[in-house]
Structure 1
Amino acid sequence: MLHEYIASCNIREKVALSLIFKKKIKIINIRNFSQLPGIKDFEIDLLCFVDKLTDGTIVKINENGTKLLFFPGILKNQKFEYKIKSFRSISYYIEFFFYVSLFLLKKSEIKLTGIRSSNVDTSLELILYMTIPLLRKLGFDNMRFKVYTLFFSPMYNTELIILFPAYQYKRHFTLITPGTIHKIRLLNTYSDQIFFGRKEISNFFNHNSVFSSYDFKILELKIFNSDIKFQTVAIISETTEGCIFGEDITLSYNNQKILNWSKIIAKLIMLFLDNILFGSCVDTKNHTILFLKMLNKKDKFSSTFSIGKLTFYDVMFLRNLKKISGKIFSIKYNCLSKKFCVNFNFL
């Protein structure tokens, strides 16, 4: 059976679901009403990455790129490397690998070479210090990673190696109490030139009473590659229950000149607090991984987690999931706690 989707929203997630459930998909009218219709270069690059990750995958794209046929192959457990050829950062590709990793049977090792951060993707800082700790809790206890800086490449500034163990199935997973924040770290990663540094950030937070009662530290990392100019500022917090939340912003020198950096930091803090004030137990950027974990049939017991709000991205993913697999999540809103409770039971 061929599952058909209209328009191009979330092609990456549709391809991941196709691989997981081994269902053929067809996506039509890709950006038909855009000034530049058709599939983008970074999406083609992602499909090349999928070809490296699988055996037997077949991809067909029409001449103007507005129709995609995807016939999924079999996920391989292997050691492989891939050089990213698009402007998207490493995290765009590694997130896709995380989506399908819950369904790999044996350990794998992946090496990705590309751009560390971009202003359209989750930063590598959040991947390393927020997403990977969550995956370790879900069953990848022995996951390890290494990050290297490429000093002289004009196209790439980072090499990421992830050692992925076999998934260890856990009988039950519950995450419904967020706890209270007790630790906050601000990570300032930049190339040879920066928009604002430790002094400006320290002055801003010293005058902000919200963070004065927490264990708060600023950490800096300089990337010695002058050909790729950027700055990423990420806020990461941990609660007493082990929940990790984060928000980031990446500035590149392709952007307009920054006139008021304090407004950027203030916006970053507002996005960060928005996640926490809703009482979530899982950061919104990691909802998809939790949904997929709950889908794994070998985890034969119920899994429950509490989220403060459902995003538009979550709703689109659940709709795609229902269409391709027939699976339906139980989503209930608790009026007293003002939280959504998501449940999926295989019993």
Structure 2
Amino acid sequence: MAGQSSSLSYVGCNFLRQRLVLATLSGRPVKIRQIRAKEEDPGLRDFEASFIRLIDKVTNGSRIEINQTGTTLYYQPGLLYGGSLEHDCSPNRSIGYYLESLLCLAPFVKHPLRIILRGVTNDQVDPSVDVLKATALPLLKKFGIDGESLELKITRRGMPPKGGGEVVFSCPVRKTLQPIQFTDPGKIKRIRGTAFSVRVSPQMVNRIVDSARSILNKFIPDIYIYTDHMKGTSSGKSPGFGLSLVAETINGTFLSAELASNPQGQGAAVLPEELGQNCAKLLLEEIYRGGCVDSTNQSLVLLLMTLGQQDVSKVLLGPLSPYTIEFLRHLRSFFQIMFKIETKSSDEERKVILITRNAAEQSQCSIIMVPYMGRLHKHWKRMIKI
């Protein structure tokens, strides 16, 4: 993407992915200083260095400078090239950490992207590959990014701490994106999910499914949760199990929730029944928060609205996560794009509508944090990406 050449400067390690992705799309160099400068182990972590290597593979001609202690990073983006690639992700973060950024970059590369990612497919920190496949890909299709070449496939599952999973992601190139009017989420019509287990008893997934259905069956009958028990080389290097749930509405909105067991040797053992019930409650909370896009994909839809045609796009979101609020600030810094924000409230619900237009037509607006009117679930921090 053509952009301005003036460099931007930031301090600290927070939101590193946002800054590098937006720098790549806008063509603006970025310098990040004092990365964990006051900590005992200063500088970039292994998973951040792996992410920088991934950005370098996807682009051509990028200039990356890191000082000896790793506390200062200068990044001058090159051309988004794409092509067929492979990348070994750090086991400290899941593949979803890297895949979220690739979903932002892939539609705008020069050659269609097909990449094999190896590492951890499901953990307790980042969105899993299952959730991104069920929610992010339909969102891309709403902007006209579709076709047979849009695919996200899990060939091997890998749980922390050793990983061993493998994912294949391919995406077509689109020169223009369609504007969207996505303000009516509609009623929930069905719930789908995937209960998985690797290197544990196959009965684990059945216990997860039964416990999740015991809660969800009270609200809707159309529920189907697939069981995925991988064996041998397809099961990765560490044991574990988990559940991802997706609720689909009549208007094509996908709302998701997920939970995974504790990594081997870390924390107390988690019962499959408890995990299934907690994941079902998280899905109900995500539905209560509302909006046409779930909290995992708020930043993706805002980016696609920003990079779309010079036309009005409108989307209805639930309460904005801290990650999304900072993303809006970064969009203003890199693209000079500001959203018109309206609140939609009633006695039972309060949501936020974001509207983007041609940059020349926009008026300045402030970022509004919409209060959440429900009681926060104890696993709420899993739903917000910090």
TM above 0.5, yes or no, is yes
1:215-253, CA deviations, whole angstroms, 9 ceiling, x for partnerless residues? 112211112236222212111111111111111112221
What residue is the counterpart of 2:355 in the other structure?
343
What residue is the counterpart of 2:144 in the other structure?
139
1:314 aligns with 2:324: yes
1:272 aligns with 2:283: yes
What residue is the counterpart of 1:121 in the other structure?
126
Amino acid at match of 1:285: T
Identity %: 23
Aligned to 2:342, the other structure's residue is in SS state strand
Q: What is the RMSD of the two structures over their aligned residues, measured on CA atoms? A: 2.4
1:54-69 → structure 2 map (5 Å cutoff): 54-69=59-74
Distance 1:98 1:83 in 2: 17
Counterpart contact for 2:157–2:198, Cα < 8 Å: no
Counterpart contact for 1:123–1:232, Cα < 8 Å: no
Aligned to 1:78, the other structure's residue is in SS state strand
1:283 aligns with 2:294: yes
Go from structure 1 to structure 2 and tell me whether the alpha carbon gap of 1:280 and 1:149 turns closer, same or farther (over 3 Å shift): same
The Cα shift of 1:34 comes to 3.5
The Cα shift of 1:296 comes to 1.2
What residue is the counterpart of 1:220 in the other structure?
227
1:290-316, CA deviations, whole angstroms, 9 ceiling, x for partnerless residues? 11111115x121111001111111111
Give the count of matched residue pairs.
344
Distance 1:278 1:164 in 2: 30
Counterpart contact for 1:139–1:168, Cα < 8 Å: no
Deviates more, 1:306-315 or 1:258-267: 258-267
What residue is the counterpart of 2:12 in the other structure?
7
Selected match of 1:236 from 223, 241, 246: 246
What residue is the counterpart of 1:100 in the other structure?
105
What residue is the counterpart of 2:372 in the other structure?
none
Go from structure 1 to structure 2 and tell me whether the alpha carbon gap of 1:150 and 1:119 turns closer, same or farther (over 3 Å shift): closer
Go from structure 1 to structure 2 and tell me whether the alpha carbon gap of 1:212 and 1:83 turns closer, same or farther (over 3 Å shift): same
Aligned to 1:88, the other structure's residue is in SS state coil
1:134-179, CA deviations, whole angstroms, 9 ceiling, x for partnerless residues? 212222211123332289xx95533222231122634431111111
Counterpart contact for 1:236–1:247, Cα < 8 Å: yes
Aligned to 2:278, the other structure's residue is in SS state helix
Counterpart contact for 1:177–1:306, Cα < 8 Å: yes
Go from structure 1 to structure 2 and tell me whether the alpha carbon gap of 1:195 and 1:265 turns closer, same or farther (over 3 Å shift): farther
What residue is the counterpart of 1:292 in the other structure?
303
Counterpart contact for 2:94–2:122, Cα < 8 Å: yes
Go from structure 1 to structure 2 and tell me whether the alpha carbon gap of 1:259 and 1:311 turns closer, same or farther (over 3 Å shift): closer
Aligned to 1:140, the other structure's residue is in SS state coil
Amino acid at match of 2:55: V
